[in-house]
Structure 1
Amino acid sequence: MKKLLALLILCLGLNLNAQDSEKQRVKATIIKFFEAFHKQDTTTLKAMAKGDIKLQSISVNREGQSVLSESEYGQFLKSIASIPAENTFEEKLLSFNIQVDGNMANAWTPYEFWYNGNFSHCGVNSFQLMKGDNEWKIIYLVDTRRREGCQDHSKN
């Protein structure tokens, strides 16, 4: 009985280590996405997605109503490529919450967005990913965008 219990504990430990390893691979994929995003490297960004995925963004309009904006990934790539070189932008990820189940993962990443050195907005990204051919690909991305409820950036 003790051998069976020890074997069970060993198997559970190996499974947890494998899941932690996959979480690290998902995190590395998200970091690579933002590195390519900041470099306006649309070739790398295109390769990181599974096809022409849909992007969605949730915000609140001037009337206080929730608004859902949608775009295709190809349009997103065109908009990234069209940002003039003299403009700077940075999406600072504040944390990662990653869940993995087999070949599916979700990454929840709160962020701050800065444009030309000025705070623009904050929110959270929710990435859905799938693993195929031993690599993680983005299959869906939704984010929130808001100016209220962010940390005080007037001191930055």
Structure 2
Amino acid sequence: MRKIIIIVLLGISLTTHSQTPDEKAIKETIDSFFLSLEKQDTTLLKNVVFIDGQLWRVSNISNSRKFDMRDFRADINKLISKNKVKEIPHRYEIKIHNGIAMAWVPYEFLVNEKFSHCGVDVFTLIHASGVWKIVNASYTIDTTGCEELKKNK
């Protein structure tokens, strides 16, 4: 019995992925991005993004798919709102190579503490001056399929 427990624990430890320092820093950058939205903190937002970076939105709410683009500079002016918003990430799938990274982050979005939509954020980050910054954020807006996005795939 003891051997079985040891084998099971060893198997779990081999399959468990621990975060690298870069993965941890990237997650912290993305979490700070979400916090800047929630706190409507333009200074924090400026610290985690390249101000000339882009935001791409793909809306799947109506029968037709709509998309648009803006830059973070334009978004800063829209950050302050009467609504209380909160973005809740479900997981982070991070890929890194030589100073560039991508994070796939399924999320759910609340407005005034009520469900608004779900979707997937795709962040592109660059490591510059010792920190990871977001240069691009693309995201979907969905009102269906949200439970499926929560599942760990």
Q: TM-score range by the shorter chain?
A: 0.7 to 0.9
- Mapped contact 2:107–2:120 kept (Cα < 8 A): yes
For 1:65 and 1:93, how far apart are their aligned partners in 2? Answer: 26
Per-residue Cα deviation, 1:98-152 (whole angstroms, up to 9, x for no partner): 1111200011111000111211000010000000111001111100001011139
Gaps of 5+ in 2: 1-17, 149-153
Shift of 1:44: 1.5
Partner of 1:124: 120
Percent identity reads 31
- Structure with max Cα Rg: 1
Give the aligned residue type for 2:133: K
How many residues are matched?
Answer: 132
Matches within 5 A, 1:99-114: 99-114=95-110
Partner of 1:29: 29
Per-residue Cα deviation, 1:23-48 (whole angstroms, up to 9, x for no partner): 11111111111112211110120122
RMSD of aligned residue pairs (Cα, Å): 2.0
Partner of 1:96: 92
User: Segments of 4+ in structure 1 off by > 6 A?
Assistant: none
For 2:97 and 2:114, how far apart are their aligned partners in 1? Answer: 38
Shift of 1:61: 5.2
TM (norm. structure 1) is 0.78
Gaps of 5+ in 1: 1-16
TM (norm. structure 2) is 0.79
